[in-house]
Chains A and B, each alone.
Chain A
Amino acid sequence: GQQVMQIPQYQHVQEGEDFTTYCNSSTTLSNIQWYKQRPGGHPVFLIQLVKSGEVKKQKRLTFQFGEAKKNSSLHITATQTTDVGTYFCAGQIYGGATNKLIFGTGTLLAVQP
């Protein structure tokens, strides 16, 4: 079936280091959303990307949507301990059934002070 894969599954960094998680779809996406889930918490929406090649920034977070709309990335500059959690991408399959986001498997980020 249609899948959205994320790598890496786990990343451990020292505070101040950069972090990137990648999301890849087997099919073209109409849009992609990113969520963050703190340990023991629930997913919280961060951002949505719609256009091919789109780049959006939120303070230290940079989100990109690939030209072919099959991949996306989230980059965090100078990580802080507050960035700890699991980051999920979620794609809407182009031409697929509406209202059915396909979530990636997530990347767990650990930040050592």
Chain B
Amino acid sequence: DAGITQSPRHKVTETGTPVTLRCHQTENHRYMYWYRQDPGHGLRLIHYSYGVKDTDKGEVSDGYSVSRSKTEDFLLTLESATSSQTSVYFCAISEWGSSYNSPLHFGNGTRLTVT
């Protein structure tokens, strides 16, 4: 498996609190992604990064922000968590962009529950 570590693996938080999820890679890949997985929706892209300090929105970016200050770390922040953000969050990396025959390698996921 690709060297991807997500932390924490599980988190329970209250509505309105800020939450930061971390993705750390040891592969030196340029591209990093945050997806959320919900029943009936598959995997939906939240944000992605194509380099240090270079990020772009995905299809479900409202309520989320990201930062990438180092190649190896990609942070996902929920500024004020809501119950609709209860989900499993996956980080993924790819050597090249996902459109260039470059598969995504996923981390083990973070299960977030917002009460």
Contact = CB atoms under 8 A, between A and B. Distances in A.
B99 A92 contact: yes
B98 A103 contact: no
- Looking at A33, A41, A43, the one whose CB has the most chain B CB atoms below 10 A away is A43
Contacts of A104: 42
A31 B99 contact: yes
Interface string B80-104: 0000000000100000011101011
B52 interface: no
A106 interface: yes
Given A48-B103, A88-B43, A105-B40, A100 B108 contact: no
A43 B90 contact: yes
Nearest to A47: B103
Contacts of A103: 35, 42-44
A42 B106 contact: yes
A78 interface: no
Contacts of B106: 42-44
Given A31-B99, A43-B104, A92-B99, A100 B41 contact: no
Contacts of B58: 100
A89 B13 CA distance: 32
- Range of interface residues on chain A? 20 to 34
Contact of B50 (A9, A30, A99): A99
B90 A30 contact: no
Contacts of B103: 33, 45, 48
A58 interface: no
A99 B49 CA distance: 9
A102 B99 CA distance: 11
Contacts of A106: 42
Interface of B: 31, 33, 35, 40-45, 48, 50, 56, 58-59, 90, 97-99, 101, 103-109
9 contacts: A31-B99, A33-B104, A42-B106, A42-B108, A88-B42, A99-B98, A100-B59, A101-B104, A103-B35
